[in-house]
Amino acid sequence: MAKTPMAVTFPKKTPAPVKTVTVSGPARDFSTQSYIPEVIRGVSVSMQHFFSNWKDMLRGERPDPVTQRLDRGITTISYPEQKRPYPERFRGLHRLTVRDNGDPRCVACLCCSTACPAQCIYIEAGEYPEGDPRRGHERFPVKFVIDELRCIFCGYCVEACPCDAIRMDTGVHPVPYDSRDQFIYKKDLLMSFADRSGDRRDHNPRHEAGDPTHPGLDREHKH
């Protein structure tokens, strides 16, 4: 007796009810079909915008393009003359912070260039001359070069810096130039930038070697 295959009937799934949304268009009644009332309504909307915008232009009362941007009216920012305020923690062009005497805070530890995923930072470290109180504690950058064209503005260099020497708080967005070598920012240029309040220094205190407040070991390895 031939084995008949077991009759398996899979329960047929009842199809899920199709989710339909009935979109109602404009009613096809006399007022829309005769076209003229709708034309008048459309023109009146245009006129409302027109007159209220003229009023704003004439009185100089256009809505603030950022804080009142959802308001009715012209919220255009005319770019080169006006600029959108950048957020507080906007990562703009780099700057090298300076000490009180104008030296860079950078100690040429190469943390930033190591952390940089785009490898756009080049640092050449130099030793302070014999007899300088900083010699033996830190070095200084002879060259500090950032290729702003390679930079991806990730901010890792700022995170990596142990001395708060490199910051991206200038609030200036990367500038478009017409040749590549103009994007190579060198030490002096980077040190000339200031933060948004115009300060080239940094607000975290720096304790120089030899200062009484210096927390580390001194040259004689005594506390």
Residues in contact with other proteins by CB under 8 A are 36, 39, 42-43, 45-47, 49-59, 61, 63-78, 82-90, 171-172, 196
d(CA 61, CA 55): 8
Check if the beta carbon of residue 187 is closer than 8 Å to that of residue 141.
Answer: yes
d(CA 148, CA 152): 8
Q: Which is nearer to other proteins, 45 or 142 (CB)?
A: 45
Check if the beta carbon of residue 65 is closer than 8 Å to that of residue 85.
Answer: no
Q: Shortest gap between Cβ of 104 and other proteins (angstroms)?
A: 25
Q: Which is nearer to other proteins, 67 or 101 (CB)?
A: 67
β-partners of residue 148 are: none
Q: Which is nearer to other proteins, 12 or 59 (CB)?
A: 59
Q: Which is nearer to other proteins, 2 or 58 (CB)?
A: 58
Q: Which is nearer to other proteins, 84 or 214 (CB)?
A: 84
Q: Shortest gap between Cβ of 84 and other proteins (angstroms)?
A: 7
Q: Shortest gap between Cβ of 126 and other proteins (angstroms)?
A: 35
The half-sphere exposure of 49 on its side-chain side, counting CA atoms within 13 A, is 9
Angle at 107 between CA 149 and CA 209, to 5 degrees: 160
Q: Shortest gap between Cβ of 173 and other proteins (angstroms)?
A: 8
Q: Shortest gap between Cβ of 67 and other proteins (angstroms)?
A: 5
Centre a 10 Å sphere on the Cβ of residue 95 and count the other Cβ atoms it contains: 23
- 115 CB contacts (<8 Å, ≥6 apart)? 156, 157, 159, 160
Write down the number of H helices and E strands in the chain: 5, 5
Secondary structure letter of residue 34 according to DSSP: T
Q: Which is nearer to other proteins, 50 or 177 (CB)?
A: 50
Residue 141 has which token pair?
A: 């950058």
Q: Shortest gap between Cβ of 82 and other proteins (angstroms)?
A: 5
